[in-house]
Homo-oligomer: A and B are copies of this chain.
């Protein structure tokens, strides 16, 4: 690798790059293509940025900030108008082509073998021939998404929705217009576009959109500057916040603590901003309380009945090598998963996977046996 060229592209000195290589940048030698990964943001380089062994760079997707007061947040942040798109609940991938092969990178900068196979299947063959430097930023969603399995989207398997585009070796993304243009040109699905609204009144329309999305079990919205002049913001439905609480509390010992607090606080600000009546606020409180207590008691009761605390998911693959690769990928991500025997079908294999929720499983068993908290 030509360190000088890479350092130039990253906007840091060669010395700095070399010292980071010894300490802060991880090497990921599997699967091909090999790459260097920025685990965390360092020296202004986004987390998830990768440098491939051929010297090409794919920048990490910047994390999107969240206002808790929608109206005030929009007025503070946007310039004149706000484009509103759906925030989908799946996993975020960056898809590009390296030395002629399609590669799907996870948020953290790993090549995910399963996402790569899905992307290869769903994308038109010629997209990277026509646009060799293109990076597609997409959300993979659906029941066969092994990271976030949800059946609220119009697929019974896994699908891919474009939400932004970027270029290899270039920082930044191209935003709303370019993304929808690329989606149209290549017949890709883009995340739903709800319209462009003036900054002063956008919050009213967004409230309606978010309430409607929430009723459908969907997550929320991403707010973008139509001309890509300022960073996007995100805002989620109460149902999505509570759904997060439910997942967290059914696996109460496996999740980070700040998960809980942030979801609850979002609910408080949304309730105040939307000037809820006493009745509406009590209904929201009931939803929060039940999202915490009911999944928690289910988990405890299941363990009491001798069950293992786990999560069942299902993937479909064309090649068994993808499944083996994905098994290894989950392991390196610290997820303990047991893969069933593959069931062959017309076009590949269906494989059931059991994710073991280790920490909650062991803690619940200990507490049921009278151990102290």
Contacts and interface: CB of A to CB of B under 8 A. Distances in A.
A91 interface: no
A178 interface: no
Nearest to A271: B297
Nearest to A294: B285
A258 B257 contact: yes
B304 A272 contact: yes
Contacts of A287: 289
Is the contact region of chain A dominated by helix, strand, or loop, or is it mixed?
helix
Nearest to A70: B370
Nearest to A74: B370
B268 A72 contact: no
A53 interface: no
A373 B77 CA distance: 13
Interface in A245-287: 249, 252, 257-258, 260-262, 264-269, 271-272, 281-282, 284-287
A315 interface: no
A370 B73 contact: yes
Nearest to A363: B265
B260 A261 contact: yes
How big is chain A's contact interface, by range?
35 or more
A66 interface: yes
A65 interface: yes
Contacts of A371: 67, 73, 76
The residue among A266, A271, A285, A368 with the most chain B CB atoms within 10 A of its own CB is A285
A104 interface: no
- Which residue, of A284, A292, A294, has the highest number of chain B Cβ atoms within 10 A? A292
A324 interface: no
A315 to B, nearest CB: 31
A231 to B, nearest CB: 10
Given A300-B269, A300-B272, A370 B69 contact: yes
B372 A233 contact: yes
B285 A267 contact: no
Contact of A292 (B68, B272, B285, B367): B285
A52 B236 CA distance: 56
A107 interface: no
- Top 9 A-B residue pairs of the complex, sorted by shortest distance between their CB atoms: A289-B289, A72-B370, A268-B296, A76-B370, A285-B289, A65-B372, A288-B289, A257-B257, A73-B370
